[in-house]
Amino acid sequence: MNTIQSWSGGKDSTASIILEHINNLPKSRIMFVEVIFDHKRGISGELPEHIDFVKNIAIPKFESWGYTVDVISDDSDYIQEFYQIVTKSKIAERNGKYHGFFIGGMCAGNSRLKMRPIHRYYKQYPNANHIVGIAIDEPKRLERLKNNEYSLLAKYNYTEQMAYDLCKQYDLLSPIYAHNRRGGCWFCPNQSIYSFANLKEKHPNLWAELEHLSKVKNTISGHFKYLKTFNEVALEVDGLLEQKKMAENQLSFFEV
């Protein structure tokens, strides 16, 4: 029977692969789903430093250990979903408009751009068991595991901190942890203002993509993050970056 490791590049799922390797367990097949922002221009939905880590550091290491890694993505992307014209809404005034930004708390990107290709992939291995990266100190998530799912982190009593340390030990810790507690799409409306501030500071070109989309007319919603518009979020982001700049200036003053 095939075993598939669902891998995000984050600390928990990466530590799960490391545990399988160092304990000489039968090798599973590794599946990584990459959400795409724009297929035509080759823009990933993953933060640049994270997708670089995934493709140029982690995957080569796993392959050197004898693993097969499948990188999958959906045929659609964020741009296509944004400009999709609504035609079957029960709310008449929405029909004929662009879908626009995904809605926070019920992001369609997860179901359309992530889970859809995952479900298609799993259909190729209908009898496979699935290894998921859930730590022993996440009991509620462990309780939700299905019959064909199990956690190696739980089996070996690994907490989230232990998973972090294991990845660091093997030089397999994604650089996203230098600024974020978790990974995810850089355009995700569920991100914190801190994460968006980090995006604007570190990747102004990607922030500019969102700013451009915020000016598109004829969308069904003007909201970007829950009930906030992009401009409202941008003001909070700029405020946070200004606070950071002031703190850094004060620190440099005292160091002098």
Distance CA 29, CA 171 (A): 21
User: Is 13 inside any structural domain?
Assistant: yes
Backbone phi, psi, residue 112, to 5°: -85, -40
| pLDDT above 80 for 180 | no
Q: At 85, is the pLDDT very low, low, confident or very high (cuts 50, 70, 90)?
A: very high
Verdict on whether the full-model pTM lies above 0.75: yes
Beta strand spans in 181-250 (E) = 223-225, 228-229
In whole angstroms, give the CA distance from residue 229 to residue 225: 7
Q: Which residue has the higher pLDDT, 5 or 178?
A: 5
Is pLDDT at 1 greater than 70 in this prediction? no
CB atoms near residue 48 (< 10 Å): 15
Is 222 or 196 the better-scoring residue by pLDDT?
Answer: 196
Number of independent structural domains in the chain: 1
Query: In whole angstroms, what separates CA 209 from the centre of its chain?
Result: 18
In a domain, 242, yes or no: no
Assigned domain for 155 exists? yes
Give one word for 197, left, alpha or beta, with left for phi > 0 and alpha for psi -120 to 50: alpha
Which residue reads 């799409």 in tokens? 185
Q: Is residue 239 part of a domain?
A: no
CA dihedral 199, 197, 35, 170 (to 10 degrees): 70
pLDDT greater than 80 at residue 15:
yes
Residue 221 within a domain? no
> How many angstroms separate the Cα of 177 from the Cα of each of 18, 207, 227?
18, 20, 28
Q: How confident is the model at residue 178 (pLDDT cuts 50, 70, 90)?
A: confident
Give me the domain span that covers residue 88: 3-182
The pLDDT, as a whole number, for residue 252 is 57
What pLDDT, on the 0 to 100 scale, is given for residue 253? 47
CATH number at 124 reads 3.40.50.620
Band (pLDDT 50/70/90 cuts) for residue 151 is: very high
Written as six digits, the tokens of 5 are 């490791």
Q: pLDDT by residue (tens digit) across 226-256?
A: 889 999 999 999 999 999 888 777 665 445 4
Distance CA 20, CA 110 (A): 28
106: confidence class by pLDDT, cuts 50, 70, 90? low
Decide: residue 179, CB within 10 A, 0-12 exposed, 13-18 middle, 19+ buried.
middle
Q: Is residue 225 part of a domain?
A: no
41 — pLDDT class (breaks 50, 70, 90): very high
| Mean pLDDT value across residues 16-40 | 97
- Mean pLDDT for the stretch of residues 190-194: 90
Give the single-character DSSP code of 103: P
> Would residue 197 count as lying in a domain?
no
Q: Is residue 48 part of a domain?
A: yes
**How far is Cα 97 from Cα 188, in angstroms, rounded to an integer?**
21
